[in-house]
Chains A and B, each alone.
Chain A
Amino acid sequence: MEHARPDTIYAYLPWIVAAVIGGGLVLAQAGRSLYIRRLPAIDAIEEAVGRATEMGRPILFVPGLAGVDVPTFQAVAIAGRVARLAAAYRTRLLMPVSNSVIFTMAEQVLREAYASAGGSELFRPEDIRFLSEDQFAFASGVIGLMNRERIATAFFFGNFAAEALILAETGQSLGAIQIAGTPSTLQIPFFIAACDFTVIGEEYYAVTAYLTREPILVGSVWGQDLSRITLAGLIFLMSANMWWLPEWIKSFFSFW
């Protein structure tokens, strides 16, 4: 199949999903308040920052194996929220980064966050560190940093791969409070095992939307939710009625 086949639903499905999400975006932009349930992770983030302040040791925020992609953008957005809290509590925030583009982006977002919390003088550009683009070089750099700075709280948000457990285990051995969130499904079990709080899969996007309250993100999460509900409904109805449906409907739903 080198081109989409117009006689199956799959040629239209991405556009239906896109339209639903687009609808969410439009509604949110227009100022409609769209409901997203409060996730327990949000309280945990605040608590963890407070804990670092009590201990007088820095906070670490790892935006994952960063790439120029959406999970990383959202991680940077969360970092902005955490930085605002940290600035308010006068606690140092360290952020190792593995991508140059994200590096400059993070610098700008954090600078703004510190300024908006009235702590511009606390912002130290050298606390955002570019380590390496290579996965394990980055991981070994981060564990070095964690050990040297004896961090009290660690946030892991973004894309992670095998280095997830290396980082989380190191934090655990330092006795740090750790909160993780990742859309990389395979790493979630290790975060569950080694972190105090874990945001699972899709919740990641919802957390960002909830934290930032940005209409675009809220609308998008809401739209995605509606798309998933539609998809689940479709699967349920089709499966339940498979036995009597005429052949042409079935073939409309079959991929080949």
Chain B
Amino acid sequence: MLPAVSETTQKYLIYWLGAICTLAIYTILYRENRLYRLFEHFYIGLAVGFGLYINFKEVIYDVWWKAMMTESSGSIFAFDTPPHLPGIVLERDDKKEGKGCWKWDVGQAAEIRLREIVKEWGTPNYLKLWAKADRPVSGGRLTLIGTVAVPENGQRGTFSISFPMETDRWRLIRLELRAFDIRGSPFRPFEKIGKRNQLGEVTDLRLRANEALVQADATIFLDDLNHNIGYRWWWVFSGLFGLMFYTLFIPRLAWMSRLAMAIPLGLGSGYTFKAFVLELGPQIDASLKPLYGDIPLLRIVNNAIFLIVLLSVMTYFFFSIEHRHSAIRSPAQFGRWMLMVTFGIVFGNTVMGRFSLFISRADFLIREMQVPWDLPEWSRLLIVGHLLAAFLVLAYLSVLYERRKATVGGTEA
């Protein structure tokens, strides 16, 4: 049995492991050495392991596997909270899922409205509802009625579906969206192609009991209403394409990896045209700066400078024209100077950025030090300094060792 770890132990381990890793990497500032190399390889391993893990968890499992091997359901209403409606009580024992279910006395209210439902159903194909009556009722039926609105264009509509409610045993009822009686056109534009399943937002949801149930004065149990897409077996193809990448290592089949790559590359190149409009369009628009007219002089001067810099830097990057004529050469030269100014700005800003990185490391080493005593900051600095010195000595020894080995037995590959 592997032991549980207390939070304090964990804090200590995180700090000291982190401190060792940090200082070992800093020995490269002296010289490349075996200590550094050991942690470098450890780091590469960690990074690859972590990347594999996070890709598996977040995409392969969450997106791919779930689409292929689950019904991709989402909750609409959980029937877990106290209803505050006449004729309904929360039942905590005889339930199917979650914390509880609703017990609905049809005699008191023939229709109930579900409040605070999930409005966005995505593209479901069927709904699922757990339900039973307290006694068998022949001819008993429930009707689910909803109001739908499309937020984009304000179109509204209603849907309803009725289903038998006769048994006294928990039953999972499937309600096919195809079978819904839909009035109006509550669909998002064009998104009803084929299956007409992209509803707008569901704003209101009611359940109505029929005469037979009311007369029998039945009590109905309701639990977890979900929307589902269904199992989508064709996702196996994207897995197949994903596996085709790995033919890269088998020369005879390597062309298949190219075929698999054709999809992201093709999509990506197509997307460039869209991104060009969305990102560069506003940039061009903003470059058309007025040079005359009803604007303050300072703006005009600034606009002119802006345009001169913009156009001369662009001129520097003209390759198909010989930079011999001064009409091209002087703006190009000026453009290059402006580029240097820009690079200077980048450099200056980066100095700040890079120092911040080291400051946060030093902050970690000194301020977040986990020691059982309350130490003043300068003594923490001393501890870290000594540790670093010890690591540097190790690094020095390893460099000496390698030098000696190199003189004896030739260099390592």
A contact set with B: CB distance below 8 Å:
1, 4, 8, 10-11, 13-15, 17-18, 34-37, 39, 68, 100-101, 104, 131-134, 136-137, 140-141, 143-144, 147-148, 185-186, 188-190, 192-193, 200-203, 206, 221-222, 225-226, 228-229, 231-232, 234-236, 238-240, 242-243, 253-255
Collect the chain B residues with CB atoms within 8 Å of residue A222's CB: 319-320
B residues contacting the other copy or chain, number (CB 8 A)? 56
Collect the chain B residues with CB atoms within 8 Å of residue A104's CB: 248, 254
Asked if residues B47 and A137 are in contact (CB atoms below 8 Å), the reply is yes
3 closest residue pairs by CB, A with B: A147-B32, A10-B281, A134-B47
Taking a contact as CB atoms closer than 8 A, the residue among B37, B277, B282 that contacts A14 in the complex is: B277
Is chain B's interface secondary structure helix, strand, loop, or mixed overall?
helix
Collect the chain A residues with CB atoms within 8 Å of residue B408's CB: none
Collect the chain B residues with CB atoms within 8 Å of residue A225's CB: 317-321
Collect the chain A residues with CB atoms within 8 Å of residue B51's CB: 133-134
Q: How far is the CB of B273 from chain A (nearest CB, A)?
A: 5
Please report the C-alpha to C-alpha distance between residue A35 and residue B180 in the assembled complex, in whole angstroms: 67
| Contact of B290 with A by CB under 8 A | yes
Starting from the known contacts A140-B25, A141-B44, 13 additional A-B residue pairs (CB-CB under 8 Å) come to A14-B272, A37-B321, A68-B264, A140-B28, A144-B37, A206-B319, A222-B319, A225-B319, A228-B314, A232-B311, A243-B290, A243-B291, A243-B292
Collect the chain B residues with CB atoms within 8 Å of residue A148's CB: 32, 412
**Of A10, A185, A239, A253, which is in contact with the most chain B CB atoms at under 10 Å from its CB?**
A239
Interface readout for B342-360 with A: 1 if CB under 8 Å, 0 if not? 0110110010000000000
Asked if residues B281 and A35 are in contact (CB atoms below 8 Å), the reply is no
Q: Which residue of A lies closest to B413 (CB)?
A: A126
* 13 intermolecular pairs with C-beta atoms under 8 Å apart: A13-B277, A13-B280, A18-B273, A37-B319, A140-B28, A144-B37, A189-B346, A221-B319, A225-B317, A232-B314, A232-B315, A243-B292, A255-B282
Is chain A's interface secondary structure helix, strand, loop, or mixed overall?
helix
Taking a contact as CB atoms closer than 8 A, the residue among B40, B280, B289, B315 that contacts A140 in the complex is: B40
Asked if residues B281 and A242 are in contact (CB atoms below 8 Å), the reply is no
| Contact of B238 with A by CB under 8 A | no
Q: How far is the CB of A56 from chain B (nearest CB, A)?
A: 14
Please report the C-alpha to C-alpha distance between residue A35 and residue B292 in the assembled complex, in whole angstroms: 38
Contacts A144-B37, A200-B339, A226-B320: A255 and B291 contacting too (C-beta < 8 A)?
no
Collect the chain A residues with CB atoms within 8 Å of residue B248's CB: 100-101, 104
Asked if residues A235 and B318 are in contact (CB atoms below 8 Å), the reply is no
Collect the chain A residues with CB atoms within 8 Å of residue B37's CB: 144
Asked if residues B273 and A143 are in contact (CB atoms below 8 Å), the reply is no
Contacts A13-B276, A147-B32: A192 and B343 contacting too (C-beta < 8 A)?
yes
| Contact of B323 with A by CB under 8 A | yes
Taking a contact as CB atoms closer than 8 A, the residue among B28, B40, B288 that contacts A253 in the complex is: B288
Q: How far is the CB of B216 from chain A (nearest CB, A)?
A: 52
Q: How far is the CB of B100 from chain A (nearest CB, A)?
A: 42
